[in-house]
Amino acid sequence: MDRKKFINLLSEEIVNTLSSDSIITVVDLQNFFVVKGKTSSEKVINVKDVYTKFCETHIEYKNINFNTIDLIEYSSKPYQDKVVEISINPEETIKIDNDILISDFQYSRSKDLGKSIYYYCKMIFDICQSYFRMSRIKFWFEYTSEENSYKLVSIKTDSYYNDSKLTSIILDNFDFDLTNFYERLSIIDNLDAYNWSLEKENLMLEVI
């Protein structure tokens, strides 16, 4: 069984079930799972019920010994860090630290608390990867809770372009309109496998 994939998908299922601003992490400790985080939802859910429903469409995980510790805090708006770091590296391998696995950023968060901006960054990477000869990229944003907005501060890549120049190019070509972007996300089945470069012809990537 792919343990990492399981906790990622389950974390996403719990976030979707809550249908509110949420940051929920699933931790796999081999003998049991810890589900922790905060949600603005007032409705308390049964995590095992979510798991049972989840297995209706993911039958490969139905025989897991699903012992859990539920540490979800309800009616508690999640706190988003003022500085948000997002890394896109398709060649990165999963590192297991003392047999502990933790669900990834993009699966653990609702759309306004990181999910949308993560996949927006992935879209930028997919489109720019071959153009600027990069194999990985890391973004730094300043988050403003009052406006629920992310301001790109800087990036770091292994491109032949220097980072400040590439940051400027990205800002010139991408508007970071996450509201409209999330509507596009909702119609894509497998976001991690989707290659946004397929939409490259719809953009004019200008180097100024």
69 plus 116 within the same structural domain: no
Question: Which DSSP string corresponds to 66-115?
Answer: --EEEEEEPS-PPPPPSEEEEEE-TTPPP--BTTBEE--TTTSB-GGGTH
Q: Which two tokens stand for residue 116?
A: 């949308």
Greater model confidence, 49 or 146: 49
- Cα–Cα–Cα angle for 122, 22, 145, nearest 5°? 75
> Is residue 52 situated within a structural domain?
yes
CATH code at position 21: 3.30.300.10
> Is residue 69 situated within a structural domain?
yes
Task: Quickly state the pLDDT bin for 160 (edges 50, 70, 90).
Answer: confident
Residue 115 pLDDT: 93
Residue 201 pLDDT: 47
66 plus 7 within the same structural domain: yes
67 plus 116 within the same structural domain: no
Task: Quickly state the pLDDT bin for 93 (edges 50, 70, 90).
Answer: low
pTM of the model: 0.89
Number of domains in the chain: 2
> Is residue 130 situated within a structural domain?
yes
CB atoms under 10 Å from CB of 177, counted, come to 9
Each residue of 12-38: pLDDT tens digit?
999 999 999 999 999 999 889 999 999
> Is residue 146 situated within a structural domain?
yes
User: What is the distance between the alpha carbons of residues 131 and 129, in angstroms, rounded to a whole number?
Assistant: 6
User: What is the distance between the alpha carbons of residues 108 and 23, in angstroms, rounded to a whole number?
Assistant: 6
Each residue of 120-150: pLDDT tens digit?
999 999 999 988 999 999 999 999 877 778 9
In order of 2, 27, 136, the CA distances from 152 in angstroms are 34, 30, 17
Q: What is the mean pLDDT of residues 149-174?
A: 92
- Provide the domain limits for residue 184: 111-202
DSSP code of 146?
A: T
Are the C-beta atoms of residues 12 and 47 closer than 8 Å to each other?
A: no
